């Protein structure tokens, strides 16, 4: 088969790499915020624990989860993308990311996402899998909402 086909989704192997070797998975003993999201239809789960610096800046984030490659990679990529951001910035990133993932295929995504996070936008080529990429962002919103 044409391997490029499948790489439309699991682009540049970034998603596969993050799925096989997820980042930021070492357990944290003391954390300030936690967020969870579960998709009961497929059984996928994502959990975050966040250590804050000062009142509102993400110093460390720990990710754990279960599920498909896109779900796991999304959790891992998100954890890298939000480290160092303020909660407000992370919240804005989440809104922008979710909005762009929901745009129809072919429509241009405004702005670009930091580093490897842009790999996830390739999931838009396969609409039924978009929800797999969004679960982590629900878990992040759940964590941030604790501070609202």
Which parts of this chain interact with other proteins (CB under 8 A)? 1-3, 5-6, 9, 13, 16, 19, 41-44, 66-71, 126, 129, 132
Helix (H) or strand (E) holding 143: helix 130-145
Q: DSSP class of residue 146?
A: T
Of 31 and 126, nearer to other proteins (C-beta) is: 126
Q: H-helix or E-strand containing 97?
A: helix 87-101
Smallest distance from other proteins to CB 105, Å: 15
Residue 43 C-beta: closest distance to other proteins, Å: 3
Q: Which is nearer to other proteins, 9 or 98 (CB)?
A: 9
Beta carbon of residue 6, minimum distance to other proteins (angstroms, whole number): 5
**Residue 74 exposed, middle or buried by CB count within 10 Å (0-12, 13-18, 19+):** buried
Nearer to other proteins, 68 or 85 (CB): 68
What is the C-alpha separation between 97 and 134, in angstroms, rounded?
A: 9
């Amino acid at each position: 088969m044409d391997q490029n086909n499948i790489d439309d989704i699991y682009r540049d192997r970034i998603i596969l790499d993050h799925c096989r070797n997820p980042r930021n998975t070492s357990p944290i003993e003391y954390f300030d915020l936690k967020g969870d999201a579960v998709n009961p239809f497929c059984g996928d789960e994502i959990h975050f624990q966040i250590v804050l610096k000062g009142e509102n800046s993400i110093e460390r984030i720990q990710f754990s989860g279960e599920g498909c490659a896109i779900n796991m990679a999304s959790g891992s990529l998100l954890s890298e993308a939000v480290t160092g951001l303020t909660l407000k910035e992370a919240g804005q990133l989440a809104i922008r990311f979710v909005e762009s993932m929901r745009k129809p295929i072919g429509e241009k995504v405004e702005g670009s996402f930091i580093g490897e996070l842009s790999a996830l936008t390739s999931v838009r080529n396969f609409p039924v899998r978009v929800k797999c990429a969004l679960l982590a962002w629900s878990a992040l919103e759940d964590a941030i909402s604790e501070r609202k």
